[in-house]
Amino acid sequence: MILMNKGHLELGEIAIIALLLVGIVAGIFIFMNPFQQTSVQSMPGNNSTVVSNSSPPVPAPPANITPNASVSALVQVNESLGQLMDDGMVRADSRFYGSKDIITGNYSINTFRFALGYENNSPDSIPVVKNDARVSNVLFNGHYVDSLRAFIFRAYVLKDLSGPQKIYGTAIFFSNETPLDSLSNFTMYYGTDPQGPQELDGCAVLSKNVSLTMSGNETSIYDVSCKLMTPAYP
């Protein structure tokens, strides 16, 4: 408490008041701290904001991303060859029945399937062998691909042959790259039909999906379409 004597301030009391004023000003100055400002700025093209200090911390790289490189995580799929083939035919039916240029009529729908080994095995159950003649029943532009593990296709043909054929298929490879990556239009040979080998013309890749097996191996699944199927003559 500050005491006043006869309405006048004595020297000691003035000194105490001056010290109190100096302390209050110093406290306000330290609290405001104008030399350590924090700025908030908007990032261009982004709705978020970044708080930047004089020495911002360096963020750690996100998981599965290599600095200065673009790496996409692959999905692991626990399906057998047969399951992957059946999935392909579900997509084939969806494409056929969802087509805008489908012609009304009675169709003959036939499915053709080839698998290297047992269909209930994983696509990587059989190692890739160079010059593997076991996959020569399916040719792409006259050549077989060692990593092919299965091929299935479905032909939708009007019984009165009054319209174009619709052919959709799925090829499964034990590899992340194949010659199909560079083909825009190709022919295919299918040699396991009981009625004789067939040739598919006007083929094109509709989609490609690369995934991992449960063992961590990469497999490629291609959906293809072809315009015509005819008997393959020697």
pLDDT tens, residue order, the chain (234 aa): 444 444 444 545 555 555 555 455 444 444 444 433 333 332 333 322 222 333 333 333 333 323 333 345 789 999 999 999 999 999 999 999 998 888 888 999 999 999 999 999 999 999 999 999 999 999 999 999 999 999 999 999 998 877 789 999 999 999 999 999 999 899 999 998 888 999 999 999 999 999 999 999 999 999 999 999 999 987
Q: What is the DSSP string of 45-114?
A: T-S-EEEE-SSPPPPPPPTT--TTS---PPPB----HHHHHHHHHHHHHHHHHT-TTPPPS-EEEEEEEE
φ and ψ at residue 180, rounded to 5 degrees = -65, -20
**Predicted TM-score (pTM) of this structure:** 0.69
- Calpha distance 12→6 (Å, rounded): 15
Count Cβ atoms below 10 Å from residue 96 Cβ, excluding itself. 17
Coil/strand/helix, residue 28: helix
Long-range contacts of 160-165 (CB under 8 A, 24+ apart): 160/105, 160/106, 162/103, 162/105, 163/103, 163/105, 164/227, 164/228, 165/227, 165/228, 165/229
Under 8 Å CB-to-CB from 195, ≥6 apart: which residues?
Answer: none
Q: Nearest-CA neighbor of 173 among 130, 141, 135? A: 135
Q: Nearest-CA neighbor of 124 among 170, 87, 176? A: 176
- Calpha distance 97→225 (Å, rounded): 14
- Contact between residue 224 and residue 169 where contact means Cβ atoms under 8 Å apart: yes
